[in-house]
């Protein structure tokens, strides 16, 4: 099943995609939030959707972030060998973890706003995991039982804030509009092999990133298990799993970054695509 949220910012309603058509399920589900992912609501919703009779949502209605604001977004850094190489960083012995503020979340096709005083706003196409069942000290063999689904995420980064301004990476990752999530959450049955998905990103039509999740250094079960050793993962939490080579920071002969007027498009097999128009901060 594919889960969407639609409507104006702050007033999104839950929906589903069936046979490429969007349907309203707000009479069945309050929202795609912690309470929804914690129980058996996905299975219950599937059964209700199969009965039909849902109200179709017009294709021109805005899509919001595919889930309500979660308790946390946990990011895994340098999780593709080629990305580590392009940034001249060693392959990590253990996952590099950092947080991204949930206030950065926007819809998949909302504008990217370059933050005030930014000089190095960068792009990162990523596979994100949505947690279902609460996870604490989970074994790898059981990790996938705690996954509700997968979603496309652009982990935008301001490299000067991240790297040159001291402290942790979070302040370069958390600016408003830096976390477009969606267009939909695909439940695991929709994805044949999460470790064999092409992910790509273009800037102004030029292909910048073209990778595959088969090249993850730390795979999905390991990541879920690993993070659960340090914190409790709550239903609806998002884990974003890293980006392949091709970010602005790694461009040769020298890095280059986004500017107002640019258009960023990205996608992952089975998880759809998204598009962000780049705007200046006003």
All structural domains of the chain, each given as residue ranges with its CATH number in brackets, are: 2-57 (no CATH), 73-280 (3.90.850.10)
Give pLDDT, residue 88: 84
Averaged pLDDT of the chain: 97
Whether pLDDT at 56 is above 90 = yes
Strand partners, 135: 233
Reported as a pLDDT band with limits 50, 70 and 90, residue 172 is: very high
Q: What is the mean pLDDT of residues 163-177?
A: 95
Kindly report, residue by residue over 130-162, the tens digit of the pLDDT: 999 999 999 999 999 999 999 999 999 999 999
DSSP per-residue codes, 165-184:
SSS-THHHH-STT-EEEEEE
The structure's pTM equals: 0.97
Reported as a pLDDT band with limits 50, 70 and 90, residue 37 is: very high
Cα distances (Å, whole numbers) of residue 20 to 4, 121, 184, 248? 12, 33, 12, 33
Give pLDDT, residue 171: 96
What's the N-to-C CA distance of the chain in angstroms? Answer: 39
Give pLDDT, residue 84: 85
Residue 3's H or E segment, with its range, is: strand 2-6
More confident residue, 168 or 108: 108
Whether pLDDT at 245 is above 90 = yes
Kindly report, residue by residue over 208-219, the tens digit of the pLDDT: 999 999 999 999
Asked if residue 149 lies in contact with residue 186, where contact means CB atoms within 8 angstroms, the answer is: yes
Reported as a pLDDT band with limits 50, 70 and 90, residue 128 is: very high
Reported as a pLDDT band with limits 50, 70 and 90, residue 163 is: very high
Q: What is the mean pLDDT of residues 196-221?
A: 98
Kindly report, residue by residue over 87-97, the tens digit of the pLDDT: 888 889 999 99
Asked if residue 250 lies in contact with residue 189, where contact means CB atoms within 8 angstroms, the answer is: no
Give pLDDT, residue 174: 98
Q: What is the mean pLDDT of residues 247-262?
A: 96
Reported as a pLDDT band with limits 50, 70 and 90, residue 259 is: very high
């Amino acid at each position: 099943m594919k889960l969407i949220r639609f409507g104006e910012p702050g007033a999104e309603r839950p929906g589903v995609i069936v046979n490429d058509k969007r349907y309203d399920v707000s009479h069945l589900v309050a929202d795609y939030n912690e309470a929804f992912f914690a129980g058996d609501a996905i299975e219950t919703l599937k059964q209700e959707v199969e009965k039909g009779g849902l109200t179709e949502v017009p294709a021109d209605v805005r899509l919001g972030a595919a889930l309500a604001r979660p308790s946390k977004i946990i990011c895994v850094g340098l999780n593709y060998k080629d990305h580590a190489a392009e940034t001249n960083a060693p392959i990590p012995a253990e996952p590099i973890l950092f947080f991204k503020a949930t206030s950065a979340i926007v819809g998949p096709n909302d504008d990217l706003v370059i933050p005030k005083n930014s000089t190095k706003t960068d792009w990162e196409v990523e596979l994100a995991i949505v947690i279902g069942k609460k996870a604490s000290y989970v074994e790898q063999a059981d990790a996938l039982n705690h996954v509700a689904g997968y979603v496309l995420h652009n982990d935008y980064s301001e490299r000067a804030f991240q790297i040159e301004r001291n402290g942790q990476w979070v302040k370069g990752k958390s600016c408003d509009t830096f976390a477009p999530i969606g267009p939909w959450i695909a439940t695991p049955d929709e994805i044949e092999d999460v470790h064999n998905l092409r992910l790509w990103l273009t800037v102004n039509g030029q292909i910048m990133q073209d990778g595959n999740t088969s090249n993850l250094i730390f795979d999905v079960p390991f990541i879920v298990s690993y993070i659960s050793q340090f914190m409790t993962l709550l239903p609806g939490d998002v884990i974003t799993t890293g980006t392949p080579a091709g970010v602005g920071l790694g461009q040769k002969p020298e890095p280059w970054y986004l500017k107002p007027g640019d258009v960023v498009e990205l996608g992952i097999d089975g998880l759809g695509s998204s598009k962000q128009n780049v705007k200046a901060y006003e």
